[in-house]
Structure 1
Amino acid sequence: MARLMAIDYGTKRTGLAITDELQIIASGLTTVSTSDLLAFIADYSKKESLETIIIGEPKRLHNEASDVEQDIQKFIRKLSKTLPKINIARVDERFTSKMAFQTMIDSGLSKKKRRDKNLVDEISATIILQSYLYSKS
């Protein structure tokens, strides 16, 4: 089986998470500069087989699209052209940053480590991926 990858897209940096080959366990992968995101994914897909890329869908409380959605749509068009054989799915990502922060607190990370926005983005991507996995089962 191929892996699943999740993206917590941001205008400056983007968190990434990945599954194992059996698509059972979601793990944080890294955080990359959004300007390098497409190249990073293209390079990663040469090393590891990717089945689906799950991209967080940021919405406001009343189900309206967030401001960053236009940037995400542009990215999806570029991604589809670059890697046309990889499926793209969307998952509602409301509250993932808050959940990520709470996860950091619950795991006992120090205040200094909880301020690391890269780690928050990576954990958010992991939560997006885990949510997708739950919805599939």
Structure 2
Amino acid sequence: MARILAIDFGKKRTGVAVTDELQLIASGLTTVATHDFFDFLADYLKQEKVELFLVGEPKQMNNEVSESEALIIPFINRLTKVHPTIPIKRVDERFTSKMAFQTMIDGGLKKKQRQNKALIDEISATIILQSYLYNLKN
């Protein structure tokens, strides 16, 4: 099996998480400057096989897409164009940033560490991936 790669797209930073090859465990990989993401991805795909991209889908409480979706659509279009053989699925990412922050608190990270927005993005991508894996099994 190949890995699943989850993407928490942001205007400045993009969080990335991956599964193990058996697709059992979700792990944060890194946070990349968004303008460097496609270079990062090309390098990563030279080393690892990925069978699916998960991209967070920001929704509002009333289930409508959020304003940031306008930035994500061109990103997805480019991702499809650059890597046409790897399918893309969308995953609801509501509350992932809040959950990531709470995870940092629960993990005992100090206030200064919790202010690291790159870490929040990476943890958010991991939560997106974990929720996908959980829903896949149930």
TM-score by length of 2: 0.97
The amino acid across from 1:99 in the alignment is M
Q: Once the two structures are superposed, what CA deviation does each residue of 1:82-135 show, in whole Å capped at 9, x if it has no partner? A: 111111010000000000000000010000100000000000000000001011
* 5+ long unaligned stretches in structure 1: none
Deviation at 1:63, TM superposition (A): 1.0
> 4+ residue stretches of structure 1 with deviation over 3 A?
none
Task: Indicate the RMSD between aligned Cα atoms, in angstroms.
Answer: 0.7
Task: Tell me, yes or no, if structure 1 residue 111 matches structure 2 residue 111.
Answer: yes
Structure 1 counterpart of 2:79: 79
Task: Tell me, yes or no, if structure 1 residue 11 matches structure 2 residue 11.
Answer: yes
Task: Tell me, yes or no, if structure 1 residue 96 matches structure 2 residue 91.
Answer: no
The amino acid across from 2:124 in the alignment is S
Task: Tell me, yes or no, if structure 1 residue 37 matches structure 2 residue 37.
Answer: yes
8 Å contact from structure 1 (residues 8, 122) kept in 2? yes
* 5+ long unaligned stretches in structure 2: none
TM-score by length of 1: 0.98
Which runs of structure 2 are paired with 1:53-72 in the superposition (5 Å)? 53-72=53-72
User: CA–CA distance in 2 between the matches of 1:105 and 1:16?
Assistant: 21
Structure 2 counterpart of 1:120: 120
Structure 1 counterpart of 2:129: 129
Deviation at 1:64, TM superposition (A): 1.4
User: CA–CA distance in 1 between the matches of 2:103 and 2:84?
Assistant: 35
8 Å contact from structure 1 (residues 42, 83) kept in 2? no
The amino acid across from 2:25 in the alignment is I
